[in-house]
Amino acid sequence: MKAVLIVPALNEAAVVGDLVRRTPRDVIAEVIVVDNGSTDATAAVAQDAGARVVNEPRRGYGAACFAGVTALPPDAGVAVFLDADGSQRPEEIPLVLDPVLAGRADLVLGGRTLVGRHPVHAAAGTRLVARWVAWRWRVPITDFGPLRAIRVDLLRRLDLQDRAFGWPVEMVINAAMLGARILEVPVSHAPRLAGRSKVSGTILGTARAGYAFLSTALRVRRRES
């Protein structure tokens, strides 16, 4: 099955080139970097490193990821997502990809060890929402890790609506509701390698993401009942 990597990127010129070059090309057939309206050289740097660059001027984490899905080649069997800031290691892509390729799972999430490596308020919020989703929809997750692999046929059936930070949460819940096999594997996590934090490093960013996580989960629950 052909695996394609999707990297949402907003002003990540300092790291995204290195990330694309480090991507294991024996398992990843194509790297799509979605430039989400960057004002720096993100697009040029990514292209020079060997990625296909897709432009999505509408801001939002989900909007960027969705544009990547729209740009997938028709023969892509698995989509892998990785943030552009270097917090997750491209070398660890096989950890989430292999169980999908082996037919053991439909969606594999890279669970992060956040303690000591992520601001306390952000880590606690993520854990809390993950715990509730795990309990409510019976999925074995502790985190909404940005490094993840999903079968493309499943992804297209999910009909994801969120275009902001609820996207990763909605993906898990909708997949669970369709009876998908969901797995979490541990991956490493580090502070972003360079560039400016837009989410967890700022109080406003964290509040926004926390609100998006929770409101998405509640919205899905309402739709379900």
Ligand X SMILES: Nc1nc2c(ncn2[C@@H]2O[C@H](COP(=O)(O)OP(=O)(O)OP(=O)(O)O)[C@@H](O)[C@H]2O)c(=O)[nH]1
What residues line the site for ligand X (CB under 6 A)?
8-10, 12, 36, 59-61, 64, 83-85, 87, 192, 197-201
Judged by CB under 5 A, does residue 30 bind Mg ion?
no
Round to whole Å and give the CA distance between 137 and 135.
Answer: 6
Q: How far is the CB of 147 from ligand X (least distance, A)?
A: 11
Choose the contact partner of 84 out of ligand X, Mg ion, none; CB within 5 to 8 A by kind: ligand X
Q: Please, which residue, 77 or 191, has the CB nearer to ligand X? A: 191
Q: How far is the CB of 31 from ligand X (least distance, A)?
A: 13
Q: Is 222 exposed, middle or buried (0-12, 13-18, 19+ CB in 10 A)?
A: exposed
Choose the contact partner of 187 out of ligand X, Mg ion, none; CB within 5 to 8 A by kind: none
CB 68 within 8 A of CB 84: no
| Closest to 171 in 3D by CA, of 188, 191, 156 | 156
Query: 6: which strand partners?
Result: 32, 81
Helix (H, G, I), strand (E, B) or coil at 49: coil
Choose the contact partner of 9 out of Mg ion, ligand X, none; CB within 5 to 8 A by kind: ligand X
Pairing of strands 52-55, 76-81: unpaired
Judged by CB under 5 A, does residue 85 bind Mg ion?
yes
Q: Which stretches of the chain bind Mg ion, using CB under 5 A?
A: 83, 85, 87, 192
